[in-house]
Structure 1
Amino acid sequence: MTHATETCLAGPLALTIQWRDGEVANMSLTWSKGKTRTLATEDGEAMQAALERYVAGEEPRWPDLPYRWQGLSEFARTVLDALSRVPRGQMVSYGWLAAKAGRPKAARAVGRIMAQNPFPLVIPCHRVVGANGALTGFGPGLDMKRYLLGREGAPTDKLQKD
């Protein structure tokens, strides 16, 4: 079993990719302060270029990498697939995602899936807000969520703080 880690840095963001047996096992998104860029593969270089485009406010064109989906329920995969289709700068609610996934009363379950999203930024869980437009939970913090939405041109001045 081979494991490797690469870290992409662009502006204030760091995206760390954890590889397992040639697949992306998970990613973590943090602020870049104190981080070091470590790229070892062409896929890592492609993610670096996409992250730079993202921070520049451009369409990132995330590379099509081999993502490891094991361990996710069918419902979680359906939710993450629906979320991956939400356009840049658009925000959706947990309830909207639940309905898109065929379980309109499962907004709380969608919240748990967002909290465990293994591929943040690529699967844009930062685009999910509360039903009333409240800026709600995000692992890397609400300041980063606001930053990401701003990079995408979302109307962050209209977001309510939870």
Structure 2
Amino acid sequence: MGGALDLPDLVAVADFLIHRRRRLASAADLGQRLGVGDRISRSRLLTPALELADDRSESRPESRLRVCCVRAGLPTPAANYEVTDVVTGRGFRLDLAWAELMFAIEYQGDHHRTAEQWRRDMTRREQLRLAGWTILELNADDLRDVDALIQRIRSAIAR
């Protein structure tokens, strides 16, 4: 895949392979593989992809978004950062978070469009905002113009 995919998609593949709940390989296994095989398997993208891999990432868009942020010079966000609402004691996972800034990005895929999921998301979002978090919600259209997206993220972080 090193010869066919771009860096964000290679990271997404690595994230999938090393995911903490359904691990198919370890980061060490993947690193070991870089040292053997043909020149495609040692592509100049594979080492950076492995360095950017995160076993907490749960979707391709999350992985791609995290890589875009890092490549733009933003600090690396925590993937699926866990937060507990101090009022309700309820736990939440934020897709990408900069905890020290209390800023998070939530990627809203199509499964968030059902009435039930939309209501749960709305309540969750408001609980997080009341707890002091700033939430930037994104969807697939936002990933089409990475430069504009990074500018929006920088602007939101600055606020």
- The TM-score range, normalised by the shorter chain, is under 0.3
Structure with the larger helix share: 2
User: Larger C-alpha radius of gyration, 1 or 2?
Assistant: 2
Structure with the larger strand share: 1
* TM superposition score normalised by structure 2: 0.25
